Structure 1
Amino acid sequence: MSLDRFDLTNWRTHPTAKGIEVFFFKSVEQGDYFEQLLNENEIWYEKDVDTEQDHSRKVMFAVRSNDVKHVKPLNNMAIGKYRKRFIPYKGLRIILLVFLLIMLTLLIVGLFKA
């Protein structure tokens, strides 16, 4: 079984070009923002838009492996700016937080009474 299925990152080593890492984004907005960050930080890259897979656009950036240390924080900023909330409804977040606080309180009280 290949562990590639469980890789949650959005970058891979280029399959044929040594010394190149490929970052990819499913959202064009994320890709554009990532490109802006690369330009601001004067990092070399090559860009490609793949429209063949699943009839959706995938924006890919090839960067030098030497620059990956500087590119990873930019990648996180691009992903973070356009991420969706884990629990989208504010009321549900509050209910879950209150429930967890009650459970934690019961746990602590139970530990002291035992």
Structure 2
Amino acid sequence: FYEPTVLADVTPGMAAFDEETFGPVAAITVADNAEHAIELANTSDYGLGGSLWTNDIAQAQRIARRLETGGVFINGYPASNARIPVGGVKKSGYGRELSHFGLREFTNAQAVWAKVVA
């Protein structure tokens, strides 16, 4: 059991910023503006997913396209849906689970060649 934890004033160079943290942990890093937030997010060696929280969906979509992550969730937490591929980039892995992309990831294609002998 790990107690839910919120870490404030997290900056680059701290383990909570630089490493891929799982569990009930929220690391808070303050950005000066959207450009700075994108820069901070993309400095990570990891890229499983991220969340954007805003009333400006158009701006969130523009920002999402610039984030180096396997998935971006706008006004929501990372979720799973069999129709949508899920997976990371950078040190968070490669390939996708779910959807037709995931089906290909877990399929081993086999070639069988036979020469017909008369």
TM above 0.5: no
Structure having the higher Rg: 1
TM-score by length of structure 1 reads: 0.24
Bigger relative CO (Cα 8 Å, ≥ 6 apart):
1
More strand by share: 1
User: Hey, which of these two has a bigger chunk of helix by percent?
Assistant: 1
Normalising by structure 2, we get a TM-score of 0.24
